[in-house]
Structure 1
Amino acid sequence: MKPKQMKIAVAGLLLLALGGVAGMTLGRVAQAPDVHADGEQHSTNTGEGHDEDEGLRLSDEQLRAAGVELATAAPSELAGRLILPGEIAFDADRTAHLVPRVSGVVEQVAAELGQAVKRGDLLAVIASPQLSDLRSERAAAQRRVELARVTLARERQLWEEKVSAEQDYLQARQALQEAEIALGNAQQKLGALGSAGGNRYELRAPFDGVVVEKHLVPGEVVGESTAAFTLSDLSRVWATFNVAPRDLAQVQVGKLAEVEASDLGKRVQGRVIRVGNLLGEQSRMASAHVLLDNPDGAWRPGLPVQLSLAGTARQPAVSVPQSALQTLEQQTVVFVRRDGAFVAQPVRLGVSDQGQVEVLQGLVAGEQVAAAGSFALKSELGKASAEHSH
């Protein structure tokens, strides 16, 4: 035999020896049969010596050491989840944009930006000539009422004594009624403004909340519609999000929703309180709101969040725990136990819900898969592949 031929023969014997040792210990991962939704298995072997019974073989002791737990693929009722981006916003039902309601000059600002206030707390004092005019109007109305009462008493006496006509008495009574109406109007105007006396107008908090905007400084001239403060009750906030028309059937008023803020590492539950009746002109989506309790103030307006709502419940053919899923060679696979060996089986997935995921193709009910600890099998498979490559 020539030297060159002898080298080729020796190399071939070494390769055969290494392949046999690897097959006796860890085995080789073969392309598993493709199990379709109809339950029929179609072999996808390529004729390269990969048998269906080949796979990753680990003893029960090794499985326990690696923390691998088995689960059985079985039908289960899954609702699926609708995942939508959103953000925290003020509760519009508990947010007020306060205005002075009188013109004048700011005399005092008693509340600062970010300050928590109680209902009735003083926010600002405004010196207003308008208040002086209203007080004068009320005083004049009071004098007219007093005069009208005196006139009515005199006309009643003259009419009873047959000195004057009944018409004079009736006119005096009408004048008193008109004067009393004018006095009532003047008093209501002052009462609505809540003046403290003289020409001073007091702006007070209408409910418990936090001053989130402040636009007043002492000495500033303001009008009746000047934006003075924005007050919001931050003990409750809204999670706002947009819903596409195709998803509106899954977003119902009163439905529970999970709201998660990855920046805070927090997740809470709330209920959908509003779904818009109109679609946005630009987005062509409907706005919706979830009401959240916010006792510690952690959910601040403007915070980005992710909302999750349950979809329509249905019973899939097969489902497995999400922990069973692994990615191998850019494919989603589960490790199926067949004839004592674990085979990496590619699968096509459907909806997921509460830790379970629907398998549309690749598994049949009753097959055992590695759930918890399935990553350990992927690691062992990587080691076996590395040994075969050398």
Structure 2
Amino acid sequence: MIRSFAVLLAALLIAGCGSSNEPASARDEHGHEQDGERGNEHDHGNGHEVGHDDGAEEGREGRTTIAAAVAQSMGVATGQAGPATLKETLSLSGVIQADPARVSRVRARFPGVVREVAVQPWSTVKRGAVLAQVQSNESLQNYSIAAPIGGVLVEHRAQVGEATAEEALFTIVDLSKVWAELDVFQTDLARISEQQPVQILDLDGRELADGHLSRIAPLAVHGSQSVRARVVIDNAKRDLRPGQFVTANVTVAETKVPLAVRREALQRYRDSDVVFEQIGDTYEVRKLELGRADADHVEVLEGLRQGARYVTGNSYLIKADIEKAGAGHDH
């Protein structure tokens, strides 16, 4: 009897130990699996979100869409990328002078007294126009003094009642053509030759006229040791005045490049030189590798295809719109 009770008690103890160990093991194992599942889900979720954000950001940035009518109202202008001729220029200073062959100093033909003056200082006269009436001392008859050329009356010395003398009564200058006399210093003289193209500018950089070097003086100016180079300029609109200081850009060399964009089209975007290519109503950033340049164009080595249409005027407005759109997406 006692032995049977001991056997039963031992069996119960063994069963109890096995029952308590199994759930603990199961819980540990299950808990480990749950942690692993959570870790995998978390990693997958982050990976998916990063990939989605990068792709969306790449598609959104660097472009904007503007309707054609709106772009026109903004003053956005475009041009086509293609070949260009880059010009190497030399900047010179100079002054506008009258052509001596177009200056007339008018004197009285016979000694006498001025009886009438028909013109005013700074007035424009035509060839043959009457300038004054003079009474001859010998015949006491009046005779007319006529303008030998057409032009501007820049000097007027005739006074009614005064006797004529050897001095000129009037000076007329024909300003339809003038000279730009440019100073070329010894260091630049070897780069200068006749017939080179010249662009004449005022002191504020505004273009006034175009021409070519027509003469280079054989003598140097003693004080400055410069040499005068002359440009004959058509001045039909009278924009240039004798005595006016000007600057000149002389083209001393030309180089053709296969692909270039206009200098004013370039903008800085994220530390790169860019232009904005137009594709329909969409404008996209094109990062460029640039080469040689002149005052108007910059050579493109990489980043833009031949014939691409890009923004040339008010490109800063396109840049601002793209940056605004990018800032909104970042937010």
Q: Deviations over 1:296-327 (max 9, x none)?
A: 54544456655444331234697443344224
- CA change 1:384–1:343 in 2 (3 A) is farther
Which one of the candidate residues 42, 46, 58 is aligned to 2:63?
Answer: 58
The residue number in structure 1 matching 2:294 is 351
Output the CA distance in 2 between the equivalents of 1:253 and 1:119.
33
Higher relative contact order, structure no. (Cα contacts within 8 Å, ≥ 6 residues apart): 1
Contact 1:334 1:370 in 2 (8 A): no
CA–CA distance in structure 1, aligned partners of residues 111 and 330 of structure 2: 86
CA 336–378 in structure 1, closer or farther in 2 if over 3 Å, else same: closer
Question: Over the residues paired in the alignment, what is the CA RMSD in angstroms?
Answer: 4.9
Which segments of 5 or more consecutive residues in structure 2 lack a partner in the other structure?
Answer: 1-48, 278-283
1:314 equivalent in alignment to 2:255: yes
| Partner Cα distance (2:177, 2:276) in 1 | 48
The equivalent of 2:13 in structure 1 is none
Structure 2 counterparts to residues 212-223 of structure 1, below 5 A? 212-223=154-165
Structure 1 CA distance for aligned equivalents of residues 143 and 136 of structure 2: 7
Structure with more strand by fraction: 2
2:310 aligns with: 371
Alignment of 1:169-184 (within 5 A): none
CA distance in 1, matches of 2:309, 2:50: 26
Q: Provide the rounded CA distance (Å) in 2 between the counterparts of 1:257 and 1:245.
A: 19
- The more displaced of 379-388 and 105-114 is 379-388
Please tell me the residue identity of whatever aligns with 1:372. V
- Find 2:98's aligned residue among 90, 93, 99: 90
Distance between the aligned counterparts of 2:83 and 2:129, measured in 1? Answer: 61
Give distance in 1, aligned partners of 2:246 and 2:136. 46
Asked whether the equivalents of residues 260 and 297 of structure 2 are also in contact (C-alpha less than 8 Å), the reply is yes
The SS at the match of 1:292 is strand
The 5 Å alignment of 1:240-255 reads 240-249=181-190, 251-255=192-196
TM-score scaled by structure 1? 0.50
Alpha-carbon displacement from aligned partner over 1:72-118 (angstroms, at most 9, x marks no partner): 6x875433344555554423220123344776644433332233434
Distance 2:52 2:169 in 1: 83
Q: What is the alpha-carbon distance in structure 2 between the residues aligned to residue 96 and residue 85 of structure 1?
A: 28
1:270 counterpart = 2:275: no
How many residue pairs match? The answer is: 269
Query: 2:78, 2:237 → 1: CA distance?
Result: 40
Return the offset for 1:266. Answer: 7.3
Q: Deviations over 1:39-83 (max 9, x none)?
A: xxxxxxxxxxxxxxx994438xx48867797976x8754333445
Larger radius of gyration: 2
Consecutive unaligned residues in structure 1, runs of 5 or more: 1-17, 28-53, 133-196
Cα 1:105–1:75 shift into 2, 3 Å? closer
Aligned to 1:205: 147
Q: Supply the distance in 2 between the matched residues of 1:246 and 1:253 (Cα, whole angstroms).
A: 17
* Counterpart contact for 1:320–1:358, Cα < 8 Å: yes
Q: Which amino acid aligns with 1:93?
A: A
Q: TM-score when scaled to structure 2?
A: 0.57
Asked if the contact 1:323/1:372 (under 8 Å) is kept, the reply is no
Contact 1:318 1:364 in 2 (8 A): no
Provide, for residues 120-166 of structure 1, a one-character-per-residue CA deviation record: whole Å limited to 9, x for no partner. Answer: 5443455576xx5xxxxxxxxxxxxxxxxxxxxxxxxxxxxxxxxxx
Q: Distance in 1 between matches of 2:297 and 2:50?
A: 38
The one-letter code of the counterpart of 1:111 is V
Check the 8 A contact 2:273/2:289 in 1, yes or no. Answer: yes
